[in-house]
Protein backbone atom coordinates (compact mmCIF):
# COMPACT_ATOMS: atom_id res chain seq x y z
CA UNK A 1 0.00 0.00 0.00
CA UNK A 2 1.30 3.47 -0.83
CA UNK A 3 1.51 6.28 1.64
CA UNK A 4 -1.42 7.92 -0.14
CA UNK A 5 -3.66 4.87 0.43
CA UNK A 6 -2.76 4.63 4.12
CA UNK A 7 -5.16 7.45 4.97
CA UNK A 8 -8.19 5.87 3.29
CA UNK A 9 -10.80 4.17 5.50
CA UNK A 10 -11.27 0.42 5.04
CA UNK A 11 -13.52 -0.56 2.13
CA UNK A 12 -16.10 -2.06 4.50
CA UNK A 13 -16.33 1.26 6.36
CA UNK A 14 -16.86 3.16 3.11
CA UNK A 15 -19.48 0.65 1.93
CA UNK A 16 -21.32 0.90 5.26
CA UNK A 17 -21.28 4.73 5.11
CA UNK A 18 -22.60 4.70 1.52
CA UNK A 19 -25.31 2.21 2.50
CA UNK A 20 -26.36 4.30 5.53
CA UNK A 21 -26.40 7.47 3.38
CA UNK A 22 -28.67 5.75 0.85
CA UNK A 23 -30.97 4.57 3.64
CA UNK A 24 -31.20 8.08 5.08
CA UNK A 25 -33.33 9.05 2.08
CA UNK A 26 -35.74 6.14 2.66
CA UNK A 27 -38.89 6.79 4.73
CA UNK A 28 -38.83 5.44 8.28
CA UNK A 29 -41.59 3.44 9.90
CA UNK A 30 -42.36 2.64 13.50
CA UNK A 31 -42.21 -1.10 14.07
CA UNK A 32 -42.98 -2.95 17.30
CA UNK A 33 -41.13 -6.17 18.08
CA UNK A 34 -42.30 -8.75 20.64
CA UNK A 35 -39.33 -10.41 22.32
CA UNK A 36 -39.29 -13.54 24.45
CA UNK A 37 -37.67 -16.80 25.36
CA UNK A 38 -37.70 -19.59 27.91
CA UNK A 39 -34.52 -21.64 27.30
CA UNK A 40 -30.96 -20.93 28.38
CA UNK A 41 -29.81 -17.52 29.58
CA UNK A 42 -32.91 -15.69 28.36
CA UNK A 43 -31.80 -12.30 29.70
CA UNK A 44 -28.57 -12.57 27.69
CA UNK A 45 -30.52 -13.64 24.58
CA UNK A 46 -32.91 -10.69 24.95
CA UNK A 47 -30.05 -8.20 25.53
CA UNK A 48 -28.24 -9.54 22.46
CA UNK A 49 -31.43 -9.23 20.42
CA UNK A 50 -31.98 -5.62 21.51
CA UNK A 51 -28.37 -4.82 20.66
CA UNK A 52 -28.79 -6.58 17.30
CA UNK A 53 -31.94 -4.59 16.53
CA UNK A 54 -30.02 -1.35 17.09
CA UNK A 55 -27.42 -2.37 14.48
CA UNK A 56 -29.87 -3.20 11.67
CA UNK A 57 -29.43 -0.94 8.63
CA UNK A 58 -31.52 2.22 8.79
CA UNK A 59 -32.88 1.29 12.22
CA UNK A 60 -32.87 2.88 15.66
CA UNK A 61 -34.43 1.57 18.87
CA UNK A 62 -36.89 4.17 20.18
CA UNK A 63 -37.97 2.38 23.36
CA UNK A 64 -37.90 -0.94 25.18
CA UNK A 65 -40.23 -2.17 27.89
CA UNK A 66 -39.46 -3.74 31.23
CA UNK A 67 -39.09 -7.50 31.39
CA UNK A 68 -42.21 -9.55 32.10
CA UNK A 69 -42.35 -13.12 33.36
CA UNK A 70 -45.18 -15.18 31.91
CA UNK A 71 -46.44 -18.73 32.02
CA UNK A 72 -46.34 -20.39 28.60
CA UNK A 73 -49.42 -19.54 26.51
CA UNK A 74 -50.34 -22.23 23.95
CA UNK A 75 -46.87 -23.66 24.63
CA UNK A 76 -44.93 -25.84 27.06
CA UNK A 77 -41.75 -25.55 29.07
CA UNK A 78 -40.50 -23.12 31.72
CA UNK A 79 -41.88 -19.62 32.22
CA UNK A 80 -41.00 -17.03 29.59
CA UNK A 81 -39.33 -13.68 29.87
CA UNK A 82 -40.89 -11.16 27.49
CA UNK A 83 -40.39 -7.56 26.43
CA UNK A 84 -41.26 -5.26 23.53
CA UNK A 85 -38.92 -3.01 21.55
CA UNK A 86 -40.15 -0.11 19.43
CA UNK A 87 -38.06 0.81 16.39
CA UNK A 88 -37.83 3.43 13.69
CA UNK A 89 -36.71 1.56 10.59
CA UNK A 90 -36.18 2.02 6.88
CA UNK A 91 -36.48 -1.74 6.38
CA UNK A 92 -39.70 -3.04 4.89
CA UNK A 93 -41.81 -5.59 6.80
CA UNK A 94 -40.42 -8.61 4.94
CA UNK A 95 -36.79 -7.44 5.26
CA UNK A 96 -37.28 -6.70 8.95
CA UNK A 97 -38.84 -10.11 9.57
CA UNK A 98 -35.90 -11.75 7.80
CA UNK A 99 -33.53 -9.82 10.05
CA UNK A 100 -35.50 -10.96 13.13
CA UNK A 101 -35.16 -14.58 12.03
CA UNK A 102 -31.40 -14.09 11.57
CA UNK A 103 -31.11 -12.66 15.10
CA UNK A 104 -33.03 -15.68 16.42
CA UNK A 105 -30.71 -18.07 14.56
CA UNK A 106 -27.68 -16.31 16.06
CA UNK A 107 -29.05 -17.27 19.49
CA UNK A 108 -29.54 -20.93 18.48
CA UNK A 109 -33.30 -20.73 17.97
CA UNK A 110 -34.70 -24.08 16.84
CA UNK A 111 -38.20 -24.82 15.55
CA UNK A 112 -38.72 -28.56 16.09
CA UNK A 113 -42.52 -28.15 16.37
CA UNK A 114 -45.14 -25.42 16.68
CA UNK A 115 -44.78 -23.37 19.88
CA UNK A 116 -41.74 -25.33 21.06
CA UNK A 117 -39.70 -23.84 23.92
CA UNK A 118 -37.13 -21.41 22.53
CA UNK A 119 -33.98 -19.49 23.33
CA UNK A 120 -35.28 -16.39 21.55
CA UNK A 121 -38.51 -15.46 19.81
CA UNK A 122 -38.82 -12.17 17.92
CA UNK A 123 -42.25 -11.32 16.52
CA UNK A 124 -43.03 -8.43 14.19
CA UNK A 125 -46.13 -7.03 15.90
CA UNK A 126 -46.72 -4.05 13.61
CA UNK A 127 -44.88 -2.07 10.94
CA UNK A 128 -46.21 1.39 10.18
CA UNK A 129 -49.70 1.03 8.73
CA UNK A 130 -48.76 -2.15 6.84
CA UNK A 131 -51.48 -4.78 6.50
CA UNK A 132 -50.21 -8.04 5.01
CA UNK A 133 -51.26 -11.65 5.16
CA UNK A 134 -49.11 -14.04 3.16
CA UNK A 135 -47.64 -17.48 3.89
CA UNK A 136 -44.43 -15.68 4.96
CA UNK A 137 -45.71 -12.69 6.93
CA UNK A 138 -48.84 -11.46 8.69
CA UNK A 139 -48.82 -7.86 9.93
CA UNK A 140 -50.18 -6.76 12.35
CA UNK A 141 -49.47 -9.92 14.34
CA UNK A 142 -52.75 -11.87 14.36
CA UNK A 143 -52.60 -12.95 18.03
CA UNK A 144 -51.16 -9.87 19.71
CA UNK A 145 -54.44 -8.59 21.14
CA UNK A 146 -55.09 -11.82 23.07
CA UNK A 147 -51.70 -12.09 24.74
CA UNK A 148 -50.92 -10.20 27.92
CA UNK A 149 -47.20 -10.86 27.41
CA UNK A 150 -47.44 -8.71 24.27
CA UNK A 151 -50.03 -6.11 25.33
CA UNK A 152 -48.56 -5.07 28.67
CA UNK A 153 -44.97 -4.48 27.50
CA UNK A 154 -46.23 -2.97 24.21
CA UNK A 155 -48.38 -0.40 25.98
CA UNK A 156 -45.60 0.33 28.48
CA UNK A 157 -43.05 0.99 25.71
CA UNK A 158 -45.45 3.07 23.60
CA UNK A 159 -46.42 5.20 26.62
CA UNK A 160 -42.88 6.63 26.63
CA UNK A 161 -43.19 7.87 23.01
CA UNK A 162 -45.31 10.42 21.19
CA UNK A 163 -48.16 8.84 19.19
CA UNK A 164 -47.36 7.92 15.59
CA UNK A 165 -50.41 8.28 13.33
CA UNK A 166 -48.55 6.23 10.71
CA UNK A 167 -48.61 3.20 13.02
CA UNK A 168 -52.21 2.54 13.96
CA UNK A 169 -52.54 -0.43 16.28
CA UNK A 170 -55.44 -2.82 15.89
CA UNK A 171 -58.22 -2.24 18.42
CA UNK A 172 -56.78 -3.27 21.78
CA UNK A 173 -58.68 -4.73 24.72
CA UNK A 174 -59.72 -2.20 27.36
CA UNK A 175 -58.00 -2.04 30.77
CA UNK A 176 -60.48 -4.44 32.39
CA UNK A 177 -60.04 -7.07 29.69
CA UNK A 178 -56.23 -6.65 29.80
CA UNK A 179 -56.31 -7.17 33.59
CA UNK A 180 -58.28 -10.39 33.09
CA UNK A 181 -55.83 -11.57 30.39
CA UNK A 182 -52.86 -10.77 32.65
CA UNK A 183 -54.38 -12.66 35.57
CA UNK A 184 -55.38 -15.69 33.47
CA UNK A 185 -52.02 -15.83 31.67
CA UNK A 186 -49.93 -15.34 34.80
CA UNK A 187 -47.90 -12.31 33.76
CA UNK A 188 -45.71 -10.43 36.24
CA UNK A 189 -43.83 -7.21 35.45
CA UNK A 190 -40.27 -7.44 36.73
CA UNK A 191 -38.34 -4.45 38.05
CA UNK A 192 -35.78 -5.01 35.32
CA UNK A 193 -34.93 -3.54 31.95
CA UNK A 194 -32.75 -4.87 29.15
Which pLDDT value is given to residue 10? Answer: 53
Residues 21, 99, 45, 162: is their CA dihedral positive or negative?
Answer: positive
Q: Is the pLDDT of residue 12 over 90?
A: no
- pLDDT tens for 107-163 read 988 887 777 789 999 999 999 999 999 998 999 999 999 999 999 999 999 999 998
Of the chain, the percentage scoring pLDDT greater than 70 comes to 87
- The whole-chain average pLDDT of the chain stands at 88
Query: Domains (ranges, CATH) in the chain?
Result: 26-193 (3.30.70.560)
Amino acid sequence: MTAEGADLPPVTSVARDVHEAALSAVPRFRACIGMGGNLGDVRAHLRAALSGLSTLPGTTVEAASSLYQTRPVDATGPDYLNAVAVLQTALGPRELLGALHALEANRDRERPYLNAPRTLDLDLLCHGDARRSTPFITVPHPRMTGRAFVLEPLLEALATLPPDPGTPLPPLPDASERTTLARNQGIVRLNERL
